[in-house]
Chains A and B, each alone.
Chain A
Amino acid sequence: MAWTRDQMAARAAEELRDGFYVNLGIGIPTLVANYIPAGVTVTLQSENGMLGIGPFPYEGEADPDLINAGKQTITELEQSSYFSSADSFAMIRGGHINLSILGAMQVAANGDLANWMVPGKMVKGMGGAMDLVAGVKRVVVVMEHTEKTGAPKLVSACSLPLTGQAVVDLVVTDLGVFDLSRGRKPVTLVQLAPGVGLDEIRAKTDAPFETALAA
């Protein structure tokens, strides 16, 4: 059985380390906050200007002045701080954030990431994604292994406009986990989701990859 969205988030959460400052993207990455391992304390950064994101507010207690980067209402913690967008991206660009977990439309074998634009179709914008992948020390992508059409998303070369070049360290999909190391070494399959076979994942992956599964 391939991993569910929550199982993918839980696997990505294994990349968290105690004391990390972490930025979580919109979608499955947001779910990672629900699976922080026991004994690990992390501080979540929101690029609209907050460190220390708390849980969703209780019904009736939402504050319109307190949202995350996905525009969802949130709460603050005792240790939270607020700052401007310029300060926020100084943290991001300046390499002060340990880990960024975000979604993708395509990831290439050389570590390239595309997640912001489909020419002629989607005009949403990159938001903070280009800054995050350029500045954060470690970048983990969580994505479905293929498009709804079945087209592979882990590809030899991105056909969509890039968000960043050679920026992806690790890819977690519903079928397995791949180490990319920002293109510094060959793509390596390091984990398979339970019940997923090597033949299946090969058939659904465009990028060439090596295999180093734990025994």
Chain B
Amino acid sequence: MADKVRKDAVEALSGLLFDGMTIMSGGFGLCGIPENLITAIRQAGVKDLTVISNNCGVDDFGLGVLLAGGQIRRMISSYVGENRLFAELYLSGRLELEFNPQGTLAERIRAGGAGIPAFFTKTGVGTLVAEGKEIREFDGELYVMERGLTADLSIVKAYAGDAEGNLVYRKTARNFNPMMATAGKATVAEVEKLVPVGALDKDNIHTPGIYVDAIVEGVAYEKRIEQMTTRPKAEKVPV
């Protein structure tokens, strides 16, 4: 069995990065993002990247650091509202942007990883999103054709994983990670806990190891919270 375990994020990405490449990066907002691998890509300095990710981090964290470093040429995302630099770069023409509806983006990635080149969805029919795309009627309703998406590299974050590459995500940090793991020509996973093979419950593995080429235990997770919302302890529970 090929040894998939790498000692750190830099080694995990060794030989996989090149200028002009397409990278999928997991996460929703700052939740479930591959912090260590993003930092390693920043340090490697590769440029002219096309990055496929639901969001683009914030100004100084997550994918925002690749924007700040001038490494991203094009983004495919559904929502980038938390990033001032993004708006500035886009409106001044220094960054290309393709907006996809969030569900269409998720399905394009799922399809890409599953060997499905295109599919039809009713999402976006009659909007800017459908312009220039094939429209077809099924059972009296209109649908737009969307293409499957793949990438040169997918970087994903899981909670736990093993040397086989089996991954388990935690709570809403799962989001886009499982589909992206399937859609990279190479997939590198970082985990909070690298556990011995056999320690994960085989019936509850979210990403089977076949999709993962390299795995690394991350360090110094910040796991920054974008919108801290709490209630005082004394308050009665609503609902």
**Which of these, B31, B109, B239, contacts A36 with CB under 8 Å?**
B239
Chain A binding surface, main DSSP class = loop
Closest to A74 in B: B229
Determine whether B39 belongs to the interface, using a CB cutoff of 8 Å to chain A.
no
**Which of these, B80, B105, B174, B232, contacts A58 with CB under 8 Å?**
B232
Taking a contact as CB atoms under 8 Å apart, the answer to whether B227 and A162 are in contact is: no
Chain B residues with CB under 8 Å of A135's CB are 103, 122-123
Determine whether A2 belongs to the interface, using a CB cutoff of 8 Å to chain B.
no
Determine whether B7 belongs to the interface, using a CB cutoff of 8 Å to chain A.
no
What's the A-B contact tally at a CB cutoff of 8 Å? 191
Taking a contact as CB atoms under 8 Å apart, the answer to whether A82 and B231 are in contact is: no
Determine whether B194 belongs to the interface, using a CB cutoff of 8 Å to chain A.
no
Chain B residues with CB under 8 Å of A65's CB are 31-32, 159, 170-173, 223
Report the separation of the CA atoms of residues A70 and B124 in the bound assembly, to the nearest whole angstrom: 21
Taking a contact as CB atoms under 8 Å apart, the answer to whether B223 and A93 are in contact is: no
Chain A residues with CB under 8 Å of B80's CB are 123-125
Contact A130:B230 (CB < 8 A) given known A50-B172, A93-B123, A123-B80: no
Chain A residues with CB under 8 Å of B133's CB are none
Q: In this complex, which of B102, B172, B173, B237 has the most chain A Cβ atoms within 10 angstroms of its Cβ?
A: B172
Closest to B88 in A: A123
Taking a contact as CB atoms under 8 Å apart, the answer to whether A58 and B79 are in contact is: no
| Of B16-24, B42-50, B175-183, B210-218, the one touching chain A | B175-183
Chain A residues with CB under 8 Å of B161's CB are none
Chain A residues with CB under 8 Å of B14's CB are none
Contact A125:B99 (CB < 8 A) given known A62-B225, A65-B32, A71-B31: yes
Report the separation of the CA atoms of residues A11 and B231 in the bound assembly, to the nearest whole angstrom: 24
Taking a contact as CB atoms under 8 Å apart, the answer to whether A86 and B127 are in contact is: no
Chain B residues with CB under 8 Å of A164's CB are 125-127
Report the separation of the CA atoms of residues A47 and B223 in the bound assembly, to the nearest whole angstrom: 20
Chain A residues with CB under 8 Å of B82's CB are 71
Taking a contact as CB atoms under 8 Å apart, the answer to whether A72 and B122 are in contact is: no
Q: For window 59-90 of chain A, which residues contact chain B by CB distance below 8 Å?
A: 59-68, 70-74, 76, 82-86, 88-90
Report the separation of the CA atoms of residues A67 and B228 in the bound assembly, to the nearest whole angstrom: 9
Contact A85:B231 (CB < 8 A) given known A71-B31, A164-B127: no
Taking a contact as CB atoms under 8 Å apart, the answer to whether A131 and B103 are in contact is: yes
Q: For window 90-111 of chain B, which residues contact chain A by CB distance below 8 Å?
A: 90-91, 97, 99, 101-107, 109-110
Determine whether A19 belongs to the interface, using a CB cutoff of 8 Å to chain B.
no
**Which of these, A58, A59, A60, A66, contacts B172 with CB under 8 Å?**
A66
Taking a contact as CB atoms under 8 Å apart, the answer to whether A64 and B31 are in contact is: yes
Taking a contact as CB atoms under 8 Å apart, the answer to whether B81 and A124 are in contact is: yes
Closest to B81 in A: A124
**Which of these, A49, A64, A130, contacts B127 with CB under 8 Å?**
A130
Determine whether A33 belongs to the interface, using a CB cutoff of 8 Å to chain B.
yes
Report the separation of the CA atoms of residues A89 and B128 in the bound assembly, to the nearest whole angstrom: 20
Write 13 A-B pairs (CB below 8 A) sorted by A numbering.
Answer: A55-B237, A62-B230, A72-B229, A73-B229, A84-B177, A84-B179, A85-B105, A89-B103, A93-B121, A125-B80, A126-B78, A128-B78, A131-B104
Known pairs A67-B31, A86-B107 / 6 extra A-B pairs, C-beta < 8 Å: A33-B238, A63-B171, A64-B223, A73-B225, A84-B206, A93-B107
Q: Give residues in A with beta carbon < 8 Å to B.
A: 33-34, 36, 46-50, 54-68, 70-74, 76, 82-86, 88-90, 92-93, 117, 120, 123-131, 134-135, 161-165
